[in-house]
Chains A and B, each alone.
Chain A
Amino acid sequence: MLTLNINGENLRLEVDADTPLLWAIREEAGLTGTKFGCDIGQCGACTVLINGNAVRSCTITASAVQGMAIETIESLASDGTLNAVQQAWLEYDVPQCGYCQSGQIMAATAMVRRAKIAGKTIPEVPLAQLDNICRCGTYNRIRPALNRAFDLAYEA
Chain B
Amino acid sequence: MKIHNLSRRRFLQGSAAVGASGLLLGCSNSLPRKTVTSGATAPTGEMHEWLFIGTDNTIIMTNPQTEMGQGVNTSLPQLLAEELDADWQTLQVRQAPLDSKFNSTMMAQMTGGSLAVQNYYHTLRAIGAGARQMILKAAAAQLGTNVSQLSTRNAQVIYQQQSYPYGQFADAAASLPVPDMEQLTYKKPSNYTLIGKPLPHRDTLDRITGKAQFGIDVQVPNLLNAAIIHAPVFGTRPIQWNEQAALAVKGVKKVIPMEHALMVVAEKYWQAKKAINLLQARFSAYDSDLPGLNSEEIEQAYEAALNDEGRAKIDAAHIIDVEYKVPFLAHATMEPMNATAWVQADRVDLWIPSQSQTIAASHTKAITGFDDQQIHIHNTLMGGGFGRRGEGDFVAEAVIASMVMQQPVKVIWSREEDIQHDMYRPAVISRFQVGLDTHFKPVAWHNQLVSSSVLRRLIPTFTPDFLDWVATPLTYMMGDMIVTDGATRSAYLADDKQPQTTALIVDTNVPVGPWRSVSFSSNCFFTESVIDEAALLAQQDPYQYRSNLMQQTPREKAVLDAVAQYANWGETPAGQFQGIAVAFAFQSYTAMVVDIGLVDHIITIHKVTCAVDCGKVINPNGARAQLEGGINFALSAAMFGEITIADGHVVQGNFHDYPQLRLAQSPVIEVFLVPSGDQPTGLGEVGVPPLAPALCNALAAAGQPRIRSLPLSNHGYQLA
**What per-residue 1/0 map shows which CB atoms of B301-338 lie under 8 Å from chain A?**
00000000000000000000000000000001111100
Please, which residues of chain A bring their CB within 8 A of the CB of B274?
A: 18
Among A18, A33, A97, which residue has its beta carbon within 8 angstroms of that of B209?
A33
Do B335 and A102 have beta carbons less than 8 Å apart?
Answer: no
Question: CB within 8 A of B204: which of A38, A43, A90, A143?
Answer: A90
Tell me how far the C-beta of A114 lies from the nearest C-beta in chain B, rounded to whole angstroms: 17
A137 and B628 contact, CB distance less than 8 A: yes
Assess the B663–A142 pair: CB atoms within 8 A: yes
Please tell me if B12 contacts chain A, counting CB pairs below 8 Å: no
Decide: A102 and B210 in contact? CB cutoff 8 A.
yes
Inter-subunit contact A133/B415 (CB<8 Å): no
Is A23 in contact with B268, judged by CB distance below 8 angstroms? yes
Q: Which residues of chain B come closer than 8 Å to A77, judged between CB atoms? A: 209
A133 in complex: contacting residue of B216, B268, B630, B655, CB < 8 Å: B655
Pairwise interchain contact B414-A140, C-beta atoms closer than 8 A? no
Asked if A32 is at the interface (CB within 8 A of a chain B CB), the reply is yes
Contact among B213, B214, B414, B629 for A138, CB-based, below 8 A: B629
Query: Least Cβ distance of B114 to chain A in Å?
Result: 15
B655:A38 contact, CB within 8 angstroms: yes
Asked if A116 is an interface residue, CB under 8 A from chain B, the answer is no
- Mask, A36-64, CB within 8 Å of B = 1, is 11111011010000000000000000000
CA distance A102 to B217 in the complex (A): 13
B206 touches A98 (CB 8 A): yes
Taking a contact as CB atoms under 8 Å apart, the answer to whether B208 and A82 are in contact is: yes
Q: Is the CB of B207 within 8 A of A43?
A: no
Interface pair A96/B70, CB less than 8 Å apart: yes
Contact B663 A128 (CB under 8 A): yes
Contact A40:B661 (CB < 8 A) given known A82-B208, A96-B69, A140-B668: no
Closest-by-CB residue of B relative to A14 is B268
Q: Is B661 a contact partner of A97 (Cβ separation < 8 A)?
A: no
**CB <8 Å contact, B654 and A40:** yes
Q: Which residues of B contact A86 (CB under 8 A)?
A: 208-209
In the complex, whether B71 has a CB less than 8 A from a CB of chain A is: yes
**Cα-based distance from A139 to B630 in the complex (angstroms):** 11
Give complex CA distance A143, B632 in Å. 14
A98 B662 Cβ-Cβ under 8 A: no
* Candidates B250, B383, B385; contact of A98 at CB < 8 Å: B383
B527 to chain A, nearest CB (A): 24
CB distance from A118 to the nearest CB of B (A): 20
* Any A CB within 8 A of the CB of B498: no
The reply to whether B666 and A137 form a contact with Cβ atoms under 8 Å apart is: yes
Majority SS at the chain A contact face: loop
| A101, B207: Cβ atoms closer than 8 Å | yes
Cβ B334 vs Cβ A45 within 8 A: yes
B38 sits at the interface (CB 8 A): no
Nearest CB in chain B to that of A126: its residue: B664
B342 lies within 8 A of chain A by Cβ? no
Nearest residue in B to A73 (C-beta to C-beta)?
Answer: B210
Interface string of B452-484 (1 = CB under 8 A from A): 000000000000000000000000000000000
- Cβ of B668 and Cβ of A42 under 8 Å apart? no
Enumerate B368-390 residues with CB–CB distance to A below 8 Å.
381-386
**Distance from A130 Cβ to chain B, minimum over Cβ atoms (Å):** 5
Residue B246 CB within 8 A of the other chain:
no
Report the minimal beta-carbon distance from A126 to chain B, rounded to whole angstroms: 7
Q: Which chain A residue has the least Cβ–Cβ distance from B199?
A: A93
* B656 CB-CB contact with A under 8 Å: yes
Which chain A positions have C-beta within 8 A of B205?
90
Query: Which A residues are in CB contact (< 8 Å) with B534?
Result: none
CB distance from B608 to the nearest CB of A (A): 9
Partner of A93, one of B273, B625, B662: B625
B68 within 8 A of A: yes
Q: B662: which of A20, A105, A133 is its contact (CB, 8 Å)?
A: A133
- Which A-chain residue is minimally distant from B631 (CB atoms)? A137
Task: Name A96's closest neighbour in chain B (CB-CB).
Answer: B69
Chain A residues numbered 124-155 whose CB sits less than 8 Å from any CB in chain B: 126-128, 130-143
> Given the complex of chains A and B, what is the CA–CA distance between A73 and B212 in angstroms?
11
Give the contacts of A1-46 with B (CB-CB under 8 A). Answer: 16, 18-20, 23, 27-28, 30-40, 42-43, 45
**Known pairs A20-B270, A138-B625, A139-B666; A97 contacts B384 (CB<8 A):** yes
Q: A35-B383, A38-B415 are in contact. Are A131 and B208 (CB under 8 A)?
A: no
Taken residue by residue from 55 to 99, chain A's Cβ proximity to chain B (1 for < 8 Å, 0 otherwise) reads as: 000000000000000001110110000100010011001111111
How many Å lie between the Cα of A128 and that of B664 in the bound state? 5
Q: Is A100 an interface residue (CB 8 A)?
A: yes
Contact at B209–A73, with CB atoms within 8 Å?
A: yes
User: Binary interface profile of B, 478-520, with partner A (CB < 8 Å = 1, else 0)?
Assistant: 0000000000000000000000000000000000000000000
7 tightest Cβ-Cβ pairs between the two chains A and B? A33-B210, A137-B632, A97-B69, A99-B383, A98-B207, A139-B666, A73-B210
Q: 29 A-B residue contacts at CB 8 Å?
A: A27-B270, A32-B213, A32-B217, A35-B214, A35-B335, A39-B414, A40-B415, A43-B655, A45-B334, A73-B209, A74-B209, A82-B209, A90-B200, A90-B205, A90-B208, A93-B204, A93-B621, A96-B201, A97-B69, A97-B333, A98-B206, A99-B334, A99-B383, A99-B384, A100-B334, A101-B207, A102-B210, A136-B334, A137-B666
The interface of chain A, by Cβ under 8 A from chain B, is 16, 18-20, 23, 27-28, 30-40, 42-43, 45, 72-74, 76-77, 82, 86, 89-90, 93-102, 105, 126-128, 130-143
